[in-house]
Amino acid sequence: MTFQTYSLFVLSIIMIYSGRVENRLNLLQLQDDIDKLKADFNSSRSDVGDGGPIFTGRLSNWTERNEKRIILSQIVSMYLKILNNTDQSKAHVRNISEELYTLKQSLSDDSKKMEYLKNLTELQVNDLKIQRKAVNELFSVLQKLGDTTSSSKRKRRLVQRQCKC
Ligand SMILES: *[C@@H]1O[C@H](CO)[C@@H](O)[C@H](O)[C@H]1NC(C)=O
Ligand SMILES: *[C@@H]1O[C@H](CO)[C@@H](O)[C@H](O)[C@H]1NC(C)=O
Ligand SMILES: *[C@@H]1O[C@H](CO)[C@@H](O)[C@H](O)[C@H]1NC(C)=O
Ligand SMILES: *[C@@H]1O[C@H](CO)[C@@H](O)[C@H](O)[C@H]1NC(C)=O
Ligand SMILES: *[C@@H]1O[C@H](CO)[C@@H](O)[C@H](O)[C@H]1NC(C)=O
């Protein structure tokens, strides 16, 4: 319950972040609804401040639009789970759920990227066939990293040293 109370505390700030990503969110209209939700969840209790924010502190480290969309796709899912157990007969709960659900749908490609990242961590690198395939792709992987304009200069230099590209 503390987790839920706490996450609701930062919902409005999350919505502002989302608003930058998805302009169609009507934040001003949602603000009233979020205030009502905060009251439902007792988000003004003193323990809400304990240990700092759950989401917002970390979010400032995610600066690029595409990476922000990936983390938002996960955060929005968490809010939907919280709201799923909340009384949907209340108009403000339905409003917020609908907005978040629409947002989640617009972030579905980003959810897939996250899923791919999870898959990647589970790749069986001890498997000899996987190793053959991986080594076969190594040069192209580094080449693609070199294409990323936003990647660090160090990475680019590394790639340029290894291939004449
Ligand atoms: C929320 O629902 C109320 C009542 O149905 C409506 O008047 C209001 O405009 C809705 N707000 C949003 C953001 O959809
Ligand atoms: C909010 O506080 C009231 C009164 O203490 C309590 O009945 C209710 O269950 C609380 N709601 C949540 C979601 O914690
Ligand atoms: C954010 O990034 C800074 C600098 O890269 C790092 O020192 C800090 O630990 C990061 N904070 C979080 C919450 O990830
Ligand atoms: C909401 O709850 C229902 C029933 O408990 C479940 O089937 C559904 O998958 C849940 N949805 C989300 C988004 O968690
Ligand atoms: C992740 O792995 C599962 C199981 O192998 C697969 O069905 C799914 O398509 C993969 N997802 C992505 C985005 O690669």
What is the Å distance from ligand 3's center to 128 Cα?
36
Whether 101 and 140 map to the same domain: the answer is no
Task: Tell me the pLDDT tens digit for each residue of 70-109.
Answer: 999 999 999 999 999 999 999 999 999 999 999 999 999 9
Whether 60 and 140 map to the same domain: the answer is no
Mean per-residue pLDDT of the chain: 83
Q: Which amino acids bring their CB within 6 angstroms of ligand 2?
A: 1, 41-42
Whether 65 and 136 map to the same domain: the answer is no
Whether 7 and 57 map to the same domain: the answer is yes
List the residue whose alpha carbon is closest to atom 14 of ligand 5. 116
DSSP-derived secondary structure for the chain: -HHHHHHHHTHHHHHHHHHHH-TT--HHHHHHHHHHHHHHTTTTSGGGGTTS-SSHHHHTT--SHHHHHHHHHHHHHHHHHHHHTS-TTSHHHHHHHHHHHHHHHHTHHHHHHHHHHHHHHT--TT-HHHHHHHHHHHHHHHHHHHH-TTS-HHHHHHHHHHS--
User: pTM for the full model?
Assistant: 0.73
Structure confidence at residue 162 as a pLDDT band (50, 70, 90): low
